[in-house]
Chains A and B, each alone.
Chain A
């Protein structure tokens, strides 16, 4: 089999071949290592590549499968973890040279679950330093580059995960999402990114950015792979104080292709905000397609959306500064300057303003729940723009030039505030060839409905089959 085809196969398809012994884990890992060698000089997706370790693991997986010890759909499948997921015996930098030699003693819960499932860790993926930025900048390990146009950002903070999945360097990658850090690079790199409900996937062993806003989740090329990954990583973890005790369904049962009767709300405020006309058209076309497939679409109002930037940034900055305060005092001079500035700006937030932001957060949560009494999903753009140029401070969204940080987090922050599940899936391309993302959000712990609609749309379109020109 052509090695590039192996690299672009979904985990769903690849696992069938592995199970039937038509492709071996060794072939899969070798194909991906060759792909990484060819594309990494352009993309810079990895901080740590585990070439020999992954080959050794692949040989063991091959032996196990040959001996009839097949572990399931991720056995022998290459996975890349954002470099703030602790991995026992493998350095975990959080995107900073300050932790260049930090080697955790044990795996975070998500890494341990991948290991138990037989997945093969290919490496640790590049990220915005300490996950504190939405673009994918990193002076310590090099900036990340968008596979569709390397002059553009990947989005962040899980930028290496976005580029690695989009370019066929990894079959499965993971991100963490505090203000959009899974969905932003997913949209800008043209892949699928799922931010699960807060508490559904364990945060234990991940470097925090903001305790009450952090969500780990999958970044992959198909909705089926998001469902397969969720089957492995979702579930209660007593080590995580925010972990939810809920029944975990088989997420692949959502992949019916049927959206008949599904009620989709389009918040009108999303389309009154700064928005690139090509993105607007692609998103409206996507929702029209879901309607033509049998979904019921109606306009809804989400007024608290307009306050979501202020609420999210106040909570996030205060918590991030609290978490990193010792680091800031001891090693602040070593931080990427914009990251240091954000951390120091958090020192100026009063306790009263933080608490008031949490009160406003409760109101946004209540409003979101009321909205989802009347509809099953909220739909809109993931991003108001396509990928901006690397290091550009501002970007044009429709007729307005706005700051890049505010632009890239415009539509993603509300679902960090209320913890609702939200997915970004490809829904088109700009005339410059850059991907556009559709965001679908659902009720807490109703990932099944989110995946159902995302999968039905994906299967009715071919956006997810396109490959970047690398």
Chain B
């Protein structure tokens, strides 16, 4: 879903679709946080994960 950059217009549209609302100052700060989310996603997409199955959780021994 995430493109590498998230414009304010794209954020506003997504926020509306996700039913996220708030005062302008609140949304400004949220936009900043969401850009951080997108940067993290971009960093992870740059990792070569071919052959790695998702580690949904550390699986502890059960017997």
Contacts and interface: CB of A to CB of B under 8 A. Distances in A.
A binds B: yes
A447 to B, nearest CB: 14
A199 interface: yes
Contact of A353 (B18, B33, B44): B44
Given A212-B57, A344-B20, A419-B58, A356 B44 contact: yes
Given A344-B20, A360-B52, A246 B40 contact: no
B56 A212 contact: yes
Determine chain B's interface SS by DSSP, over half rule: loop
Contacts of A362: 49, 52-55
A418 interface: yes
A10 B38 CA distance: 46
Given A307-B47, A314-B44, A362-B53, A212 B2 contact: no
Interface stretch (A217-225, A237-245, A293-301): A237-245
Q: State which size class the interface on A falls in.
A: 35 or more
Interface in B33-61: 33-34, 36-41, 43-45, 47, 49, 52-58, 60-61
Interface string B6-45: 0000000010001110000010011001101111110111
| Interface residue tally on B, bucketed by range | 20 to 34
A199 B47 contact: no
A183 B44 CA distance: 25
B40 A310 contact: yes
A242 B62 CA distance: 9
A429 interface: no
B63 to A, nearest CB: 6
Given A352-B1, A360-B44, A363-B52, 13 more contacts: A197-B60, A242-B57, A245-B63, A309-B40, A345-B34, A347-B20, A356-B47, A356-B49, A357-B44, A359-B53, A362-B54, A365-B55, A365-B58
Nearest first, the 6 closest Cβ-Cβ pairs linking A and B are A199-B60, A244-B60, A419-B58, A358-B54, A350-B1, A212-B57
29 contacts: A198-B57, A198-B58, A198-B60, A199-B60, A244-B60, A245-B60, A245-B63, A246-B60, A307-B44, A310-B43, A310-B44, A329-B19, A337-B26, A337-B29, A341-B30, A341-B33, A344-B20, A344-B30, A345-B30, A345-B37, A353-B41, A356-B45, A359-B49, A359-B55, A360-B44, A360-B52, A362-B49, A362-B54, A365-B55
